[in-house]
Each structure stands twice: as structure tokens, then as C-alpha cells.
């Protein structure tokens, strides 16, 4: 719905503000939105029928608005305008909700009419909890197959008595919301969970208030196939990686740059300029790590045969993973029959206020190519300066990408 439309005399305040918020939302990565007239756009138009109070202003903004750019400031103004309407209805409580999920069985985070999505599943669980439909707004949109250690969204809930319909009750405590929604989520596939909930003011927007986003990309190196437990949880690379070369290449990309070469075709962000605050490669212990008998003996000898947690953590942090027989065959390590060799695990971390569509996966693809020797340090610099996606290396698969954290400043509301 674009432009002004004939507005109703008595538009419901909550529906009006939802229209404002929907107008302000755009993909964190500048992802292409559904075309006008598509099932999604028709669905949205049915949900948000009421126009803004001032019919001289458009009821929706372009989907190309992206956070951190000039268009976002205009969007924030409209959110503030909508907030004034919402503030008149003090019965509504806005909750900030952090969720973790395995992206394998989700068709991305954003709601789609015929696919299972993170927002769709969350809205269904909240509906069962509060007894009425709600709208979920995510801080960051993830693609199909991408996981989240902590994605954040907000939702407005009006607590109405189920015994006496029409009677408005005080808002639920955050802990009650977390337990109740998780109860319904676990009756689903069990691949998503609410990990934290807090009450926030009506003008706190999960997307626009985000100060920083951190993504992690997990790579497992080793000649053998991935363990069943690691499938679709990491990118398996069978070639040995030159980690120092990858770290050197990271330094080229850190800072404020035109990331057009790391911007997927169809990205609708107004500008390709982004500031990358951090990009590094770290070798870590593989997940589901269970020490072998020799490793247990070594740990116990360091701890004096006592379970000293602090010393054990120190040992874990200081030990070189490669010395723990990771990625070597059984004959070399003397492993018993039935024990599989471990892969070496590398995590690439990218941190910034916002990212372009597929920027992280494109950067990881380039870094992996540097690690295998297909690209050099100079090649990465050349790709960055080319400012065209055609110069980029193949993009890393979605299975290894994790949204790790979304940072906010809560002090302004304390």
C-alpha cells in the first residue's frame, strides 16, 4: 500500500501504529522485498487497512529504506509519530524478546504465507499464549538455513482476561512470557527457544534501536566427512587452511568501505557504504567436545587429579587445539576402534552496526579462498576496490552462519 488512501473515521490506535511500524521496516541486509501485488503484499494490505491520521502523508515508505542511512531517519520519525498514538493506550506492553534457533527447517526469519518461518512460528506461539493475534518485528532478518544464537524482536501484548473477555489485566512479567511462549514452541519442532524477555517502552524498536550486530561463521576442516551432529551446522572444508593469510586478509576489510563487491545482486540498500568494526578468524575447540583418555590424563595431571574448574578453563584457553590430535587419523593418534577423528574448527567473526545483503557470507567466501591459496592478500584488496559483485569469490553456504548477538543501550530508559 503506497500513497494516501481514504481513511476511516475511527481508526483503531493499535492498527494505525502497526501500519507505521510496518512502513518503517526494511531488510537489515537490503534484501529484495516482495513485489507489489504479490501474496505477501496482498496479505499485508489486509492486515493494515487503517491509514495514518494525516492522510496527506504516505502510509508506507519504500522497502529500500535501510537502517543507518538517511531514509531510516525519516522512518524513525514516522515510528515516533505512531508511538504517540500507541502511548495513549497504556494497556499495551511492549516486550523485547531474544530467541535462539536452528535455521535448517526455517525458510528464513520473515513471515511467509506458505512457508515455516521464525516470525510465523513465534507469532503462533504468542497467539496461543495471549489468546489474540500479535505482530513480531525482528532486529535482523536471517535467510533459510542461517542459525541464531540470539536474534531479537519486539512484540506488543495487551493482556485480556480469558475468563472475562474485555477485562484488561496488568501485563505479564517477562519470566512468565518466556516460560509460556517456550511451552508452546516446544510443542512445535523444538528448534527455536526464547532465551530472554524484558519490558521496554513503547518507542523501543528492536530494529532501529540496535547499535551493533555480531555474526559468527563456523568452518570445520578435515579430510573425513562431517559428523552427524555437525551436518548443516558448519561449512566443511577438506583443504588445509592458511590461517595467518586469512587473518591478514581480514585487515583489508575492517573499517569504512564501499562494500559493493560484497553485496548480493538485488540488494536494495540505499548505499553500499558500511563500517566493519571487527573481522577475525579464531581457532576453537569443536563443539560437542569430549576428551580422549590421553587428554583427560593430561588435564588431570595439570589439575593435580582434582576437578579444579578455574585451572581446567585456563588449560582449555591456553592449549593449542592442533596439539590435541584434531584432524589426524586414528593410526597417528592411537585412538580406539569406533572413535572418529576430530575436525579443526575455525570461527570467523564479523561485527558492525549493519550489514548489506549476504555481505558476511561473501566476505567469508573470499577469506576461505585466501586460506586455500586460490586468492592472495592483494586479490582481496583488488576485489574490494572493484566495487562490483562480479569480482567476488563464491559465497559461503548458509549452514555455517550464526547471528550471534544484537547490542542495545538500555541505559537511556533506566
Cell of 76: 524513525
Cβ pair 233, 138 in contact under 8 A: no
Q: Is 258 one of the catalytic residues? A: no
Cell of 345: 574448527
For residue 139, what are the CA distances in angstroms to 98, 108, 154, 183?
A: 10, 13, 8, 23
Cell of 98: 531474544
Q: Is 32 exposed, middle or buried (0-12, 13-18, 19+ CB in 10 A)?
A: middle
What do you get for the CA distance between the two ends of the chain, in Å?
Answer: 37
Assign 3-state DSSP to the chain and report helix, strand, coil percentages, each to 5: 35, 20, 45
Cβ pair 44, 1 in contact under 8 A: yes
Beta strands in 285-340 (DSSP E): none
The CA-based dihedral angle spanning residues 80, 85, 90, 93, taken in that order and rounded to the nearest 10 degrees = -50
Cell of 317: 584457553
Catalytic residue among 22, 27, 143, 156: 143
As annotated, the active-site residues are 143
Amino acid at each position: 500500500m503506497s500513497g494516501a488512501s481514504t481513511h476511516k473515521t475511527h481508526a483503531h490506535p493499535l492498527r494505525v501504529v502497526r501500519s507505521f511500524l510496518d512502513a518503517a521496516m526494511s531488510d537489515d541486509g537490503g534484501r529484495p522485498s516482495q513485489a507489489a501485488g504479490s501474496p505477501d503484499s496482498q496479505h499485508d494490505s489486509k492486515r493494515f487497512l487503517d491509514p495514518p491520521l494525516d492522510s496527506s502523508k504516505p502510509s508506507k515508505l519504500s522497502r529500500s529504506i535501510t537502517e543507518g542511512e538517511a531514509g531510516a531517519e525519516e522512518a524513525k520519525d514516522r515510528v515516533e509519530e505512531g508511538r504517540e498514538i500507541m502511548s495513549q493506550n497504556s494497556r499495551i506492553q511492549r516486550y523485547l524478546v531474544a530467541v535462539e534457533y536452528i535455521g535448517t527447517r526455517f525458510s528464513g526469519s520473515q513471515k511467509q504465507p506458505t512457508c515455516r518461518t521464525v516470525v510465523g512460528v513465534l507469532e503462533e506461539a504468542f497467539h496461543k499464549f495471549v489468546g489474540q493475534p500479535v505482530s513480531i518485528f525482528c532486529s535482523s532478518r536471517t535467510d533459510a538455513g542461517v542459525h541464531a544464537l540470539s536474534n531479537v524482536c519486539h512484540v506488543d501484548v495487551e493482556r485480556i482476561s480469558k475468563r472475562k473477555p474485555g477485562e484488561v489485566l496488568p501485563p505479564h512479567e517477562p519470566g512468565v512470557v518466556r516460560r509460556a511462549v517456550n511451552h508452546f514452541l516446544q510443542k512445535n519442532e523444538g528448534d527455536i527457544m526464547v532465551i530472554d524477555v524484558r519490558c521496554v517502552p513503547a518507542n523501543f524498536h528492536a530494529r532501529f534501536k540496535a547499535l551493533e550486530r555480531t555474526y559468527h561463521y563456523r568452518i570445520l576442516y578435515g579430510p573425513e566427512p562431517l559428523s552427524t551432529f555437525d551436518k548443516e551446522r558448519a561449512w566443511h572444508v577438506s583443504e588445509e587452511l592458511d590461517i595467518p593469510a586469512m587473518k591478514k586478509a581480514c585487515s583489508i576489510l575492517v573499517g569504512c568501505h564501499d562494500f559493493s563487491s560484497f553485496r548480493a545482486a538485488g540488494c536494495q540498500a540505499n548505499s553500499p557504504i558500511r563500517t566493519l568494526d571487527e573481522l577475525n578468524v579464531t581457532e576453537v575447540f569443536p563443539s560437542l567436545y569430549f576428551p580422549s583418555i590421553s587428554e583427560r590424563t593430561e588435564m588431570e595431571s595439570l589439575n593435580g587429579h582434582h576437578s579444579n574448574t578455574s585451572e581446567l578453563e585456563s588449560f582449555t584457553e591456553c592449549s593449542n587445539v592442533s596439539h590435541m590430535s584434531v584432524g589426524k587419523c586414528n593410526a597417528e593418534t592411537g585412538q580406539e576402534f569406533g572413535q572418529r577423528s576430530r575436525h579443526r574448527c575455525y570461527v570467523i567473526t564479523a561485527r558492525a552496526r549493519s550489514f548489506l545483503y549476504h555481505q558476511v557470507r561473501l566476505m567469508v567466501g573470499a577469506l576461505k579462498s585466501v586460506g586455500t591459496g586460490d586468492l592472495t592478500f592483494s586479490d582481496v584488496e583488488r576485489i574490494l576496490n572493484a566495487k562490483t559483485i562480479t569480482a567476488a569469490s563464491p559465497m559461503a553456504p548458509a549452514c555455517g552462519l550464526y547471528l550471534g548477538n544484537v547490542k542495545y543501550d538500555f541505559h537511556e530508559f533506566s
